[in-house]
């Protein structure tokens, strides 16, 4: 594909890295939901990694459950890049759906308005969490022709059928159905986990196209006015941008059945290739008081609310302190702890930097270099073991403690060891996306400038010049300074 022929120089450079990596230390191992085991990671065309992650349905503010999933995949992408892979990352935006339509009706707005508002707020939250954008964020409504064509091809192939303006995929036509989730076809026939519908040949069959009666929320198709089922969009958009074989397909574990099971049936039926995805990666739940955090249960905390109280680095550190496949219970105390761990790492980096300026020339004690090597190696080994960020982090805390102890014990230091220690911790923090700059501490002059701007804005608010006040708030936010108005006082915080 044309996307991949770009940057040949970088490509050659990365091939060299991957080759030496394979000959050297242990290779990356990844847990694959399909085999329920950790497997050596061997993408179809290394160093390229084709990665697709199911994106959000944009009908409301994103909550911490979303943060959990998307921070995990952002980190996996960063780690793959750290290991020398070239990741091509696609994440869809579901911008037409029952929830979006319902919200639009309740507000007297159009579904497009609702989708626009909440995709903007989703991207704002992700940017603030230092989650890098995917290479492509395809939207369903921009791909309606592709979807209709795919549905028509499935009918042509005899694996889908039309019934009264709806089109269903015939599950019995796909022999491997249930391979990912372990769900048995017989259980599905009993209708225990699917909605029975008189129009379906079999209760397990699922909708590719749904008839729509309401005006303005559908598209015309060979089967009449309607809109696509949810599963088909991911099959169509992943294949369109990444080809028939993906290396990684990810999402929250609640998507394994039926969403990902259905994606496999559709995609493999469409392409005739029997290995749509090489590695299925699923993230564990984010729970609150032991229950899955979700919009439908109403037990959610929005990302915005959390970022009002905590830095993005601390939020990421909180999430990455648990392995991506294990559940995380959301607790404000956990975020406090993450904040202090982050501060410890940042303070250590600041201290190292300040000490370098006073240090003498020289490489420093051999045993300190050995400690740095040991912890750096263990950091890498942990990431190679199915992206084990909690173990990787524990080695960075240990290295920080050892470097601090060295600084505490010595009267004079040599530059070499401090520079190397700083480099290792900074690189580790960057790889996990927990510290964006080298340091979070604010120079005095910057602090003074922020205070002046906040004062100008407070003046504007007193004059009821909301336009200027909002503009200043937005400009500051773009620069990484978040304001919070408390009565007539305004608090500010640097988020990155
Ligand atoms: Zn999907």
Instruction: Please give the full DSSP string across 83-102, using - where no structure is assigned.
Output: TT-EEEEEE-BB--SHHHHH
CA separation for the pair 20, 3 (Å, rounded): 25
Does the pLDDT value for residue 441 go beyond 80? no
- Is the same domain home to 353 and 271? no
Cis peptide leading into residue 133 (ω within 30°): no
84 within a domain of the structure (yes/no): yes
Phi, psi (deg, nearest 5) at residue 435: -130, 125
Tokens 């009449």, located at residue: 224
Ligand 1 centroid, distance to 231 Cα (angstroms) = 6
Domain identity same for 332 and 453? no
Asked which of 265, 282, 303 is the last residue of a domain, the reply is: 303
What is the whole-number distance in angstroms between the Cα of residue 260 and the centre of ligand 1?
7
Does 422 lie in the same domain as 346? Answer: yes
211 with 238, same domain?
Answer: yes
> What is the CA(84)–ligand 1 centre distance, in A?
27
Alpha carbons 109 and 105: distance in angstroms, whole number: 6
**How do residues 213-223 score in pLDDT, each as one tens digit?**
998 899 999 99
Distance from residue 53's CA to the centre of ligand 1 (Å):
7
Listed residues 260, 275, 303: the one ending a domain: 303
CA contacts within 13 A on the Cβ side of 334: 17
Residue 194's pLDDT is 59
Q: Distance from the CA of 165 to the center of ligand 1, in angstroms?
A: 24
88 Cα to the center of ligand 1, angstroms: 17
- Distance, CA 127 to ligand 1 centroid (Å)? 22
CA of 226 to the centre of ligand 1 (A): 20
Tell me the two tokens of residue 243: 């080809």
Same domain, 262 and 319: no
Distance CA(292)–CA(153), nearest Å, equals 38
Last residue of a domain, one of 272, 303, 334: 303
Q: SS3 for 276? A: coil
Strand 86-91 relative to strand 48-53, pairing: parallel
Residues 284 and 160 in one domain: yes
Instruction: Answer yes or no: is pLDDT of 151 > 80.
Output: yes
The average confidence (pLDDT) of the chain is 90
367 and 418 share one domain: yes
Average pLDDT over residues 332-336: 95
Instruction: Identify the H or E element spanning 68.
Output: helix 64-82
Q: Can you tell me the mean pLDDT for 442-459? A: 82
Would residue 163 count as lying in a domain?
A: yes
Given a cut of 70, whether residue 189 has pLDDT beyond it is: no
Widest distance between CA atoms in the chain = 84
Q: Is residue 1 part of a domain?
A: no
Distance 459 CA to ligand 1 centre (A): 48
What is the edge-to-edge ordering of all strands in the sheet holding 206-211? 160-163, 166-169, 206-211, 226-228
How many angstroms is it from 241 CA to the middle of ligand 1?
14
Q: How far is 14 from 81, CA to CA, in rounded Å?
A: 10
Q: What is the CATH number of the domain that holds 26?
A: 3.40.50.620
Please report where in the chains the tokens 């900074």 appear, as a residue: 426
How confident is the model over 360-369, as a mean pLDDT?
92
CA of 8 to the centre of ligand 1 (A): 31
Q: How far is the CA of 495 from the centre of ligand 1 (A)?
A: 31
pLDDT at 480: 78
The arithmetic mean of pLDDT across residues 175-193, rounded, is 79
137 and 178 assigned to the same domain: yes
Indicate whether 327 and 476 sit together in one domain.
no
The pLDDT of residue 117 is 98
Query: How far does the centroid of ligand 1 lie from the alpha carbon of residue 252, in Å?
Result: 10
What is the percent of the chain with per-residue pLDDT over 90, rounded to a whole number? 78
pLDDT category at 34 given cuts 50, 70, 90 is very high
104 Cα to the center of ligand 1, angstroms: 23
Range of the structural domain that residue 457 is part of: 444-494
Q: Smallest Cα–Cα separation from 136: which of 2, 308, 29?
A: 2
Question: 123 CA distance to ligand 1 centroid (A)?
Answer: 18
Question: Quick one: 214 and 347 in the same domain?
Answer: no
Cα(279) to centroid of ligand 1, in Å? 15
CATH of the domain at 428: 1.10.730.10
User: Do 115 and 243 fall into the same domain?
Assistant: yes
194 alpha carbon – ligand 1 mean position (Å): 18
* Separation of alpha carbons 369 and 426, rounded Å: 16
Q: Check pLDDT > 50 for residue 25.
A: no
CA of 259 to the centre of ligand 1 (A): 6
The verdict on residue 3 lying in a domain is no
- For residue 89, the CA-to-ligand 1 centroid distance in Å is 14
State how far the Cα of 64 lies from the Cα of 153, in Å rounded to an integer.
Answer: 39
In a domain, 481, yes or no: yes
| Domain count for the chain | 3
Confidence of residue 23 (pLDDT cuts 50, 70, 90): low
Q: Give the model confidence (pLDDT) of 258-275 as tens digits.
A: 999 999 999 999 999 999
- The pLDDT value recorded for residue 203 is 87
Secondary structure (DSSP) of 340-397: HHHHHHHHHHHHHHHHHHHPBSS---HHHHHHHHHHHHHHHHHHHBT--HHHHHHHHH
Whether residue 241 lies inside any domain: the answer is yes
CA distances from 73 to 53, 107, 184, 197, 329 (A): 8, 33, 29, 36, 19
pLDDT at 320 over 90: yes
Distance between Cα 420 and ligand 1 center (Å): 43
- Cα of 347 vs centre of ligand 1, distance in Å, is 41
Residue 437 lies in a domain: no
- If you average pLDDT over residues 22-37, what whole number do you get? 81
321 part of a folded domain? yes
Contact present, 372 and 417 (Cβ < 8 Å): yes
Query: Same structural domain for residues 424 and 399?
Result: yes
pLDDT tens-place string over residues 121-142: 999 999 999 999 999 999 999 9
* Average pLDDT of span 397-416: 93
pLDDT in tens, 213-250: 998 899 999 999 999 999 999 999 999 999 999 999 99
85 Cα: distance to centroid of ligand 1 (angstroms): 24
Going from the Cα of 428 to the center of ligand 1, the distance in angstroms, rounded, reads 31
Q: How far is the CA of 54 from the centre of ligand 1 (A)?
A: 4
């Amino acid at each position: 594909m044309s996307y991949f022929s770009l940057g040949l120089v970088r490509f050659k450079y990365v091939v060299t890295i991957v080759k030496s990596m394979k000959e050297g230390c242990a290779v990356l191992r990844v847990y694959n939901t399909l085999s329920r085991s950790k497997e050596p990671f061997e993408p179809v065309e290394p160093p390229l990694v084709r990665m697709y992650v199911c994106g959000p349905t944009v009908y409301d503010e994103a909550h911490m459950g979303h943060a959990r999933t998307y921070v995990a995949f952002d980190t996996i992408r960063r780690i793959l890049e750290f290991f020398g892979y070239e990741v091509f990352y696609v994440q869809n935006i579901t911008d037409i759906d029952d929830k979006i339509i319902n919200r639009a009706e309740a507000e007297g707005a159009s579904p497009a308005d609702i989708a626009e508002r909440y995709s903007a707020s989703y991207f704002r939250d992700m940017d603030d969490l230092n989650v890098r954008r995917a290479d492509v964020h395809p939207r369903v409504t921009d791909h309606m022709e592709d979807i209709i064509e795919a549905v028509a091809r499935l009918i042509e192939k005899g694996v889908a059928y039309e019934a009264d303006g709806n089109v269903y995929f015939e599950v019995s036509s796909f022999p491997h159905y249930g391979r990912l989730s372990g769900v048995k076809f017989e259980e599905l026939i009993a209708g225990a986990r699917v909605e029975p519908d008189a129009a379906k040949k079999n209760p397990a069959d699922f909708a590719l196209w749904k008839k729509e009666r309401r005006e303005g929320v559908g598209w015309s198709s060979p089967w009449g006015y309607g809109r696509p089922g949810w599963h088909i969009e991911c099959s169509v958009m992943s294949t369109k941008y990444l080809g028939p074989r993906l290396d990684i397909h990810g999402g929250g574990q609640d998507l394994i059945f039926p969403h990902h099971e259905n994606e496999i049936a559709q995609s493999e039926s469409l392409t005739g290739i029997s290995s749509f995805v090489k590695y299925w990666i699923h993230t564990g739940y984010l729970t609150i008081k032991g229950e899955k955090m979700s919009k439908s249960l109403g037990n959610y905390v929005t990302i915005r609310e959390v970022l009002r109280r905590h830095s993005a680095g601390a939020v990421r550190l909180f999430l990455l302190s648990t392995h991506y496949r294990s559940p995380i219970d959301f607790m404000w105390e956990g975020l406090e702890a993450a904040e202090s761990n982050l501060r410890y790492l940042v303070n250590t980096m600041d201290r190292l930097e300040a000490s370098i300026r006073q240090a003498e020339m020289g490489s420093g004690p051999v045993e300190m270099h050995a400690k740095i090597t040991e912890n750096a190696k263990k950091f890498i080994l942990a990431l190679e073991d199915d992206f084990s960020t909690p173990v990787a982090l524990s080695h960075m805390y240990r290295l920080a403690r050892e470097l601090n102890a060295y600084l505490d014990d010595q009267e004079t230091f040599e530059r070499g060891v401090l520079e190397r220690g700083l480099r290792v911790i900074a690189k580790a923090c960057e790889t996990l996306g927990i510290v964006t700059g080298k340091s979070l501490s604010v120079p005095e002059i910057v602090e003074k400038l922020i205070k002046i701007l906040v004062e100008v804005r407070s003046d504007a608010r007193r004059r009821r010049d909301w336009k200027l006040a909002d503009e200043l708030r937005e400009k500051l936010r773009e620069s990484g300074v978040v304001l919070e108005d408390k009565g007539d006082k305004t608090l500010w915080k640097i988020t990155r």
